[in-house]
Chain A
Amino acid sequence: MSIILRGRKVVGGFAEGEALVTRQTISGWGGVNPATGTIIESRHELRGVSFKDKVLVFPGAKGSSGWSGIFHAARMAGTAPKAMIFNEMTTKIALGAVVTRVPSVTDLDQDPLDVIETGDWVRVDGDRGIVEVIKKHERA
């Protein structure tokens, strides 16, 4: 049984992968090392964890106006997440998602931070704004 969340397209396209979930907002410049896709912000709960090839589920972006530049660099280094799911729309995350060029959705009908856990399998249909979640305990 999978769970379906419906929201709004930010960036189109389809991707699926394992979820990496945080309840903390993410800083781009000064918060992420784009060479490895690793969170480096002191005191962040994902410090030392890479989002490379994961479906990143998070509340939104914070910090410097260099946010898009860092995620742009991550895409070019091949360390970007496969897809992004977030709650709070800002110019930082909108531009960041656009230049990362991965399927991205927001405004979901259930809070993705409540529904999705790290390790769940997530399918993101950016164009239709649909997220399908297969809970990790149901994965074969």
Chain B
Amino acid sequence: MILTDDERRMLEGEQGPAVQKAMELLVRYAEALGAERFVDTNNVCGANILTPSMMRHFKSHDEAFSKMSLDSDETVEIPQVKVFSCQLIGPMDREQWEVQGVSREFYEGTMESMDYNARHGIHLMNTCTPYQVGNVPVKGEHCAWMESSAVVYINSVLGARTNVEGRESTAAAMLTGKIPYWGYHLDENRFGTHLIEVEFDVESNMDWGMLGYFVGEMVEDKVPVLNGIRHVPDLLRLKHFGAAAASSGGVEMYHIPGITAEARTLEEAFGPNRPRATFKYGEAERRKVYEELNSTAHDRDVDLVMIGCPHAGIEQIREVCNLLDGKKIHSNCELWVFTPSPIRKLAEQNGYLKILQDAGAKLMSDTCPAIGQFLPKGTKVVALDSAKQVHYLPAIMNVQGWFGSTADCVRAALTGRWDGGLH
């Protein structure tokens, strides 16, 4: 592959051993991909928070970062990151770790890892949705992000350019400002490949999640183009759509002509490509997806209702407050809402936190039950308004998962019973 002078100097160690190790990893990775060169990036989102159970293999945080994040056998001193860098969702809620059920030792150890990241210039956004709290890449901006739901959002809705990166490639990009110029960084890979004829009038958040799940199953990791959308979706709906499509299939890029960043028309969406296949989404397909998403559940007594996958925005928190309508959560059930910590602050300032607390609900941040692998003790049945979470959580935590609208979910929290359905 072709290296520029500054890349060669980094590889030769001119900027210190950590940058050298980072560059070595990036060269191995780029060669594995078959990339011909790197592209500069000044926007990296990665995941380097380690819990005490991971840290016990290492003597220092520098050793852990060297080995786990840079794949280096040698321990090197890690300098400040070179470019704008953010931490994605992590294993622990900084404020409500006790609700999460972790020990003080776990809390203190994980906080130490977070402090280490902060001291190195990595911003502790601690969310799967950096684009909700100020990291909003512009069209054409080359990024290096992990988190499949965030990648598909910034590629498609915003027109930024990133592949689904991993822990090691993002850590190396933080220290070098480089990432392989491959995949979705290149124009020719961003055009549509498959056409989805949407016959059902998709409007609600729940419907956008189901459509996303369907699309991912149909196209796997290709580039779908949606035709026939009658209502312009908002951030919330596209957040759920992309997260679901990335979970069921691995979609990293899609187009909705007239709505997403790179396609004013169907022709623009496909560019030089012809659709390889066309799939119809109507009543029957919608019902099938609904049944699939509810296939792990049969017991109607619900132990936990979880809202906020991907992390909830302020309008979703308001919606939950309105649905609670001054009532209390059922004594056999918990209601957990997850949101980025700056939005939790806003919810507090707006009075929503008090409404949730008065109802017996919890507003949490920084993590989620799938990433942190925690649930209230004894949980067997959960109810979720997220197609992504219902895809992962039953498998990871061995629970039953109901899927429905936010209203279905909040009603389950108030009655302790699932009575959701497809309307």
Contact = CB atoms under 8 A, between A and B. Distances in A.
Interface string A1-39: 000000011110000000000000000001000000000
B167 A66 contact: yes
Contact of B168 (A8, A76, A99): A99
B163 interface: yes
Nearest to A91: B163
A97 B32 contact: yes
B250 A95 contact: no
Interface in B139-184: 146-148, 151, 163-169, 180, 182-183
B32 A95 contact: yes
A68 B168 contact: yes
B62 interface: no
B169 A104 contact: no
Interface residues of A, number: 29
Nearest to B169: A95
Interface in A94-130: 94-99, 104
B57 interface: yes
Nearest to B54: A73
A66 B89 CA distance: 12
A10 B164 CA distance: 18
A91 B28 contact: no
Contacts of A30: 370, 392, 395-396
| Most chain B C-beta atoms within 10 Å of own C-beta, residue among A8, A62, A65, A67 | A65
A72 B25 CA distance: 13
B33 interface: yes
Contacts of B165: 65, 91, 95
26 contacts: A8-B34, A9-B31, A10-B32, A30-B370, A42-B394, A62-B249, A62-B250, A63-B148, A63-B250, A65-B164, A65-B166, A66-B47, A66-B146, A67-B166, A69-B168, A72-B68, A72-B167, A89-B33, A91-B33, A91-B166, A91-B180, A95-B166, A98-B28, A98-B32, A98-B168, A99-B71
Given A65-B146, A68-B169, A91-B33, 7 more contacts: A8-B34, A11-B28, A63-B247, A66-B167, A90-B221, A98-B32, A99-B168
